[in-house]
């Protein structure tokens, strides 16, 4: 993976939250960073790109709905044409649409599975040929503790995140011979916009389940992601690394 060389790193959902922290972590090695987001406004993405550029990092942002196969395919063609190769892919984009199964519409189920799981297929498929040809690469998929233990009102989200774990292990087996490692990181309860909407009462309940007694920071997740993409983790593939303060052991 040649940490000494400049790597091209694509981070989906990199405009804010965990993805932004991952981008800042890769900035420390002066990687070329491509951020993909689908926020209604470009503000968060511009802020992230501005911060990266202020630190002398080559960074670009794209707004694209990567839950669409065609959109993702086209986007990665553009990125590959511009940067020639992609060394690291972080499949981090995700959404929640929480409700009890009794009230869950087909649309809500499909939205979450499409954005959280199908996008991982779309983006991984779009890079795997070029990574295979260059015989190196690292892919990290962001799952969730909920994919392991389930959660009230999150059957769609839990299914998508458990699906990511199975996908990760299968692809890890398929591409190991090409020098590509594929792992997942399963965060617990992390302080981002995604969790800011959780009612106080529910937050208190979550905190009781965490031995460390506090939420994780996006940086805690970014550190694990970064390490999995470094040569230090070169013999690690098909794993799910839990970053959850002990919430699930």
Ligand X SMILES: NC(=O)c1ccc[n+]([C@@H]2O[C@H](COP(=O)([O-])OP(=O)(O)OC[C@H]3O[C@@H](n4cnc5c(N)ncnc54)[C@H](O)[C@@H]3O)[C@@H](O)[C@H]2O)c1
The residue ranges that bind ligand X (CB under 6 A) are 12-13, 15-19, 36-39, 65-67, 92-95, 115, 142, 144, 187, 189-190, 192-195
For residues 11 and 60, the answer to whether their CB atoms sit within 8 Å is: no
Looking at beta carbons only, is 79 or 190 nearer to ligand X?
190
> Angle CA(154)–CA(158)–CA(163) in degrees, nearest 5?
155
Tokens representing residue 237 in the block: 């593939």
User: Are the beta carbons of 229 and 92 closer than 8 angstroms?
Assistant: no
Helices (H), the chain: 17-27, 43-54, 69-83, 106-113, 119-134, 146-149, 155-175, 193-196, 200-208, 218-228
* Nearest-approach distance from CB 144 to ligand X, in angstroms: 4
Which residues are marked as active site? 157
Which residue, 8 or 92, has its beta carbon nearer to ligand X?
92
CB of 243 to ligand X, least distance (A): 9
Number of neighbours of residue 104 by Cβ within 10 angstroms: 16
Contact 72, 64 (CB under 8 A): yes
The nearest distance, CB 220 to ligand X, in angstroms, is: 11
If the CB atoms of residues 1 and 115 are measured against ligand X, the closer one turns out to be 115
233: its two tokens: 């983790």
Sequence-separated (6 or more) residues with CB below 8 Å from residue 235: none
* Closest CB 93 distance from ligand X, rounded Å: 4
Between 137 and 218, CB nearer to ligand X: 218
What is the distance between the terminal CA atoms of the chain, rounded to a whole angstrom? 30
Which residues does 41 contact at the CB level (< 8 Å), separation at least 6?
A: none
Nearer to ligand X, 93 or 138 (CB): 93
């Amino acid at each position: 993976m040649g940490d000494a060389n400049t790597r091209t790193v694509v981070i989906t959902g990199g405009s804010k939250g965990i993805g932004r922290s991952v981008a800042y972590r890769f900035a420390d090695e002066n990687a070329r960073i491509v951020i993909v987001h689908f926020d209604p406004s470009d503000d968060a993405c511009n802020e992230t790109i501005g911060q990266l550029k202020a630190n002398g990092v080559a960074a670009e942002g794209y707004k694209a709905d990567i839950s669409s196969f065609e959109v993702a395919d086209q986007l990665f063609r553009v990125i590959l044409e511009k940067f020639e190769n992609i060394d690291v892919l972080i499949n981090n984009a995700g959404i929640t649409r929480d409700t009890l199964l009794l009230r869950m519409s087909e649309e809500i189920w499909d939205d979450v599975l499409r954005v959280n799981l199908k996008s991982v297929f779309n983006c991984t498929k779009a890079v795997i040929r070029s990574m295979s040809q260059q015989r190196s690469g690292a892919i990290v998929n962001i799952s969730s503790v909920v994919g392991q233990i389930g959660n009230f009102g999150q059957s769609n989200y839990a299914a998508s995140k458990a699906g990511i774990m199975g996908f990760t292990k299968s692809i890890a087996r398929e591409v190991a011979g090409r020098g590509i490692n594929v792992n997942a990181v399963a965060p617990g309860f992390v302080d981002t916009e995604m969790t800011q909407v959780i009612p106080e009462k529910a937050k208190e309940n979550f905190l009781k389940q965490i031995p460390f007694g506090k939420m994780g920071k996006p940086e805690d997740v970014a550190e694990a992601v970064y390490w999995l993409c470094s040569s230090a983790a070169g013999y690690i593939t098909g794993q799910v690394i839990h970053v959850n303060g002990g919430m699930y052991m």
